[in-house]
Structure 1
Amino acid sequence: MTRPARRSAPRPSAFNPAREVAVRVLLRVLAGEGFAATALDSALQNARLPGRDAGLATHIVYGTLRHFPSLDAALAPMLTGKTHPKARALLLAGAFEKLHLGTPLHAVVNEYVGLARDARLAPPGLVNAVLRRIERADVPELPAWLAEVYREAYGAQADAVMADLLTPQPLWLSLSDAGVRMLEEDGNVVFPGQQGTERVELAQPLRETRAFAQGQAQPINPASLACVDALGDVKGARVLDLAGGMGVKAAMLATRGAEVTSVDVVARKHDAARANLRRLGLQADFVTHDLTAPLDLPPAPFVLLDAPCTGSGTLRSHPEIKLRLTPQAVTEAAQLQAQMLPNAAALVEPGGVLVYSVCSVTPQEGPGVVADFLASHPEFQPETVPGLDVPHVPAGAGVLTVPLGGVDGFFMARLRRNGSRNLT
């Protein structure tokens, strides 16, 4: 009688699975297959990592992208010939941990050699040699033309702003009193924020918190919320939320008591917006329309156009943008915005308010678009932006928020249409 073969116990993983998640997300983002936020969110949901490991994966992904120019420069002299994208992503992540995250050298080498071997991402010998020898490269983390944009926008504050873009992004939440209480009761830490938001350090994923599940918490950057507050008191008033995207600003407007109609060219975004509003116990109407063409809706007393843009003011939370952005893309974005703004203006009733905003710091997309619009639309006059609780600097007919401490860089202008409002 033959004895059954003994099965050997599976060998424990030689690396933390958080690092494999991070490398595979980086591989997608660097290939231009998506943005870090959505790719990482999807990967973490599938991997179901413990909170600590999910945090490590997040640090590696965003840190590697923020420091990509200098990491890539440090790797360049150590690699000959063509390096496979998988190996390159792994080496970039390992280099970030060694050079910026402060992980001990032996741990970096052991973890990434094990990952290279067991996940078949790169030759283990190459990974071992490179990570032991790599040293920092003194290379700017922003393209020269984009650094100049920041210098022109923020002057003496520019160096501090650009340094701040390399640090981790805090989580900003708009919270009800019940939401604050739930988060604190569940072991999370809530700090006073800006513009009516709170800065939160979570002990678990946001979606798993009671506050989020029960509609007492909404993620939003303070600068983004400032665009909503720029409209003023909207309680009981009709508000058109143009280029509304996933409906976050629509939710904030509805929270403030507005009757909101959100317009976007991408119909599937309305589904996500509706789901979020249901979670929050709010309502809004939705219209699918391309705003480069006139929109047949009754004029409203308040119109918000948060126009599609390059996102150059969000490099801290979306660092991959700086790897893809070009001056030509800025020009094209400004041309698109210039088509949309007059159509938005046509929806403002006499005496009403139009707020134009973009999460970009380039002069073409902000002050330039508004200046050209005002030159051809004398019925609109710029006004001081009210309710600003975030640091800001003047920018043409509007203001630029200062991206320090995790606040995004937004341009916004408040424009009033001449005439008397129809109060009937």
Structure 2
Amino acid sequence: MTAPSPNPAREVALRVLTRVLGGAFASSELDRELKRAHLAGRDAGLATQLVYGTLRHHRRLSAAVKPLLKGTTRDSTMAVLLAGAYEKFVLETPVHAVVNEYVDLARGGFGPPGLVNAVLRRLESLPEVSNLPAWLSRNLQEAYGAQAPAAEASLLEPQPLWLRLTENGVSALRGEGSEVEAGYGDVYRVSLSRPLGVTAAFKSGWAQPINPASYACVLALGNVEGERVLDLAGGSGVKAAMLASNGAQVTSFDINEKKARPARQNMGRLHLKAEFLTADLTRTPDTEPASKVLLDAPCSGSGTLRAHPEILLRLSEKAVDEMAELQGRMLDAAAPLVVPGGLLVYSVCSVSAAEGPQQVERFLKTHPDFSPEALPDLRVPVAQRSPGVVTVMDEGVDGFFIARLRRRE
């Protein structure tokens, strides 16, 4: 009698994890593999849970597995062992099922079956190791104080899907059987009945994925109706789209010209318009200054670990320092783009003081014609972190530092 084949969801998860351990990003790799595999909804859910769960618990899983290994272990073998350990201890899948499934997957090319069998059977428990390095836990403590433990614990929870929706979008999704729950303003928490890309809300331009904290950066500019707004380091253009939807005339800059095409396509889907230009933003772009400028600078991403847990595999204090140096240059280059009396909003999806308040404090010392001012209602919980605020990283809201700076007339 032929033995049953391993669950295809686990095979998809292992392919994704292997690439992520090699330096890839989880979301893009998982999307690619799920489209290729055409898994049923339940299996797609399992693959997603295995990928993100294994990455969120990576430090403890790795601390359990590595003492049982000798020499160098290739990424595919480590993926099998980490995912197997995650199922055994976090999902509490029966031991015999875990061992049998992952040994069969190892035979399919992921690693030595004997090694996988031996390690998964010998694992007795997960060590009491923090899921964050000590320096990052300190960053959370500095940012949130008494709220830090809840923020850290939330990083182990699945990330909700956040969608900014029009009224038509809410109705269309509910009509298709999706659950649409109140979130923050018009950014809703959604559980889809089908893939987002095939929903009427998405295809009609009534839905845009965005975290409430990311949308708070747009709200920090206040009323933008009819105003020219410069969107610096605009990336894939999501904030540019949100600004345009609020009535702004947007020019978005990014150093990566490859991001302009999907940004324009997304604007077309949303029935909006914006200009997308390529520029090295460590130098002031050749463009007319504007009354409102948003610099959502590249950063370490420590505020997005719940949605992007793979960041933790390569995040270090040195990387934070390198990002802070880049941010300082970009802030200096942005200053001349703000007209006298205008606004500059600086934001980063990081909880590090070096990338947030310390960055702005340095800028204010070298640019005395700018001063901080209170932020408008950002619709999300915030903690004061002078000269700005940090969004409270809990219940799926990312951690963003946001400061609003006014140029003297």
Does residue 282 in structure 1 map to residue 272 in structure 2? yes
Alignment gaps of 5+ in structure 2:
none
Query: Residue in 1 aligned with 2:321?
Result: 331
Instruction: Go from structure 1 to structure 2 and tell me whether the alpha carbon gap of 1:232 and 1:82 turns closer, same or farther (over 3 Å shift).
Output: same
Query: Does the CA contact (< 8 Å) of 2:166 and 2:186 recur in 1?
Result: no
Q: Name which of 363, 383, 397 aligns with 1:373.
A: 363
State the alpha-carbon separation in 1 of the partners of residues 359 and 170 from structure 2. 39
| Partner SS for 1:260 | strand
Query: Residue in 1 aligned with 2:197?
Result: 207
Q: Identity over aligned residues, as a percent?
A: 59
| Partner SS for 2:309 | coil
Q: CA deviation at 1:12?
A: 7.6
Q: Name which of 22, 26, 32 aligns with 1:31.
A: 22
Q: CA deviation at 1:195?
A: 4.2
State the alpha-carbon separation in 1 of the partners of residues 87 and 175 from structure 2. 33
Query: Residue in 1 aligned with 2:8?
Result: 17
Query: Does the CA contact (< 8 Å) of 1:383 and 1:415 recur in 2?
Result: yes
| Partner SS for 2:384 | strand
Query: Residue in 1 aligned with 2:78?
Result: 88
Instruction: Go from structure 1 to structure 2 and tell me whether the alpha carbon gap of 1:13 and 1:305 turns closer, same or farther (over 3 Å shift).
Output: farther
Does residue 385 in structure 1 map to residue 375 in structure 2? yes
Query: Residue in 2 aligned with 1:124?
Result: 113
Q: Over alpha carbons, which structure has the higher Rg? A: 1
Query: Does the CA contact (< 8 Å) of 1:195 and 1:388 recur in 2?
Result: no
Query: Residue in 1 aligned with 2:126?
Result: 136
Query: Residue in 2 aligned with 1:48?
Result: 38
Q: CA deviation at 1:13?
A: 5.2
Query: Does the CA contact (< 8 Å) of 1:22 and 1:61 recur in 2?
Result: yes
Tell me the alpha carbon deviations over residues 72-111 of structure 1, each in whole angstroms, 9 at most, x when there is no partner.
1111233234333221111101111111123233332232
Q: Structure 2 matches for 1:88-237, cutoff 5 A?
A: 88-117=78-107, 119-134=108-123, 135-237=125-227
Query: Residue in 2 aligned with 1:404?
Result: 394
Tell me the alpha carbon deviations over residues 41-79 of structure 1, each in whole angstroms, 9 at most, x when there is no partner.
122122221222111111111111111110011112332
State the alpha-carbon separation in 2 of the partners of residues 348 and 31 from structure 1. 41
State the alpha-carbon separation in 2 of the partners of residues 394 and 303 from structure 1. 22
State the alpha-carbon separation in 2 of the partners of residues 304 and 25 from structure 1. 34
Query: Residue in 2 aligned with 1:322?
Result: 312
| C-alpha RMSD over aligned residues | 1.5
TM-score (normalised: structure 1) = 0.93
Query: Does the CA contact (< 8 Å) of 1:51 and 1:203 recur in 2?
Result: no
State the alpha-carbon separation in 2 of the partners of residues 322 and 83 from structure 1. 20
Query: Does the CA contact (< 8 Å) of 2:289 and 2:336 recur in 1?
Result: yes
Query: Does the CA contact (< 8 Å) of 1:381 and 1:416 recur in 2?
Result: yes
- Does 377-386 or 236-245 show the bigger shift? 377-386
- Does 35-44 or 12-21 show the bigger shift? 12-21
Q: CA deviation at 1:122?
A: 2.2
TM-score (normalised: structure 2) = 0.97
Whichever residue aligns with residue 375 of structure 1, its letter is K
| Partner SS for 1:390 | coil
Whichever residue aligns with residue 174 of structure 2, its letter is E
Query: Does the CA contact (< 8 Å) of 2:300 and 2:315 recur in 1?
Result: yes
- Does 86-95 or 246-255 show the bigger shift? 86-95
| Partner SS for 1:120 | helix
Query: Does the CA contact (< 8 Å) of 1:161 and 1:402 recur in 2?
Result: yes
State the alpha-carbon separation in 2 of the partners of residues 72 and 359 from structure 1. 26
Whichever residue aligns with residue 126 of structure 1, its letter is L
Q: CA deviation at 1:126?
A: 2.9
State the alpha-carbon separation in 1 of the partners of residues 173 and 402 from structure 2. 32
Query: Residue in 2 aligned with 1:5?
Result: none
- What number of residue pairs does the alignment pair up? 408
| Partner SS for 1:320 | helix
Whichever residue aligns with residue 149 of structure 2, its letter is D
Q: CA deviation at 1:370?
A: 0.5
Does residue 308 in structure 1 map to residue 298 in structure 2? yes
Query: Residue in 2 aligned with 1:4?
Result: none
Query: Residue in 2 aligned with 1:422?
Result: none
Alignment gaps of 5+ in structure 1:
1-8, 420-424
